[in-house]
Structure 1
Amino acid sequence: MTQDRALGGIGSRILFENDRVRVWELRLAPGERSDVHRHELDHVLIQIAGDRIAVHPEPDTEGPYRDHLEADVVPGAAVYVGRGGVETAVNPGACPYHEVIVELKT
């Protein structure tokens, strides 16, 4: 792991948080990249809008995605993802990307 690497938030902003869940919103314009971030908690991704999304895992990732992954966006799709990922989300599409991320604290 890179000790001096600065990690950002997993989304654009927090929509809600209590002792059981944290809910993020992620919005990426076409060609935009998120901050490099670490998923400390299991979470559910809910795709709202967009046409393509990609994830670029870091070499020290411990999450389920170890290689670059790019896929079509399916609005309304909900995907469970285990903790441990260190990655950057990228919008390679032509449309703005919008997603809600629900982190599970318990």
Structure 2
Amino acid sequence: MAEVRSQTGREPQFANDQVKVWKSPILPNSPLPLHRHEHPRVIVALSGGRMEIREQDGRSEIHDWQTGNAYWPPANAPGTMHQDINVGDKPIEAMVVELETAS
């Protein structure tokens, strides 16, 4: 039986000077806090869904993450921050692998 997540957040999995890996459960309408990514990353949708990426200035994009698929978002533009908001009705869970030395 699948584990039921009680909150949105980051669960560290592994880190060194080249890479950080974390698992993120993202519950419906429970956004991650504003944050940024200095480096590109791979996102693997363990449980997919519909994610809104909302920039601090109010602009947003909707991404449909399919379970089992991998995605390659670039580093964030300098001086920007965003939130990840699950706009679906089921939890999303993603494994994130962020490169620490890539641009």
TM-score of the aligned structures, taking structure 1 as reference length: 0.75
Q: CA deviation at 1:36?
A: 0.3
Query: Where in structure 2 are there 5+ consecutive unaligned residues?
Result: 1-8
2:53–2:63 Cα contact (<8 Å) kept: no
Q: Equivalences for 1:30-49 in 2 at 5 Å?
A: 30-49=28-47
Give the counterpart of 1:95 among 90, 94, 100.
90
2:40–2:73 Cα contact (<8 Å) kept: yes
Give the counterpart of 1:83 among 60, 75, 94.
75
Q: CA deviation at 1:95?
A: 0.6
Aligned length: 90
CA displacement 1:32-74 (0-9 Å, x = unmatched): 1001001111111111103211110123xxxxxx941113220
Query: Where in structure 1 are there 5+ consecutive unaligned residues?
Result: 1-10, 60-65
Instruction: Tell me how large the CA RMSD over aligned residues is.
Output: 1.7
The reply to whether residue 74 of structure 1 matches residue 66 of structure 2 is yes
Instruction: For 1:31 and 1:67, locate their aligned partners in 2 and report how far apart those are by CA, in whole Å.
Output: 17
Q: Secondary structure at the match of 1:47?
A: strand
Instruction: For 2:63 and 2:18, locate their aligned partners in 1 and report how far apart those are by CA, in whole Å.
Output: 30
Q: Secondary structure at the match of 2:96?
A: strand
Identical positions, percent: 28
Q: CA deviation at 1:30?
A: 1.4
1:50–1:93 Cα contact (<8 Å) kept: no
The ranges of structure 1 where at least 4 consecutive aligned residues each deviate by more than 6 angstroms after the TM superposition are none
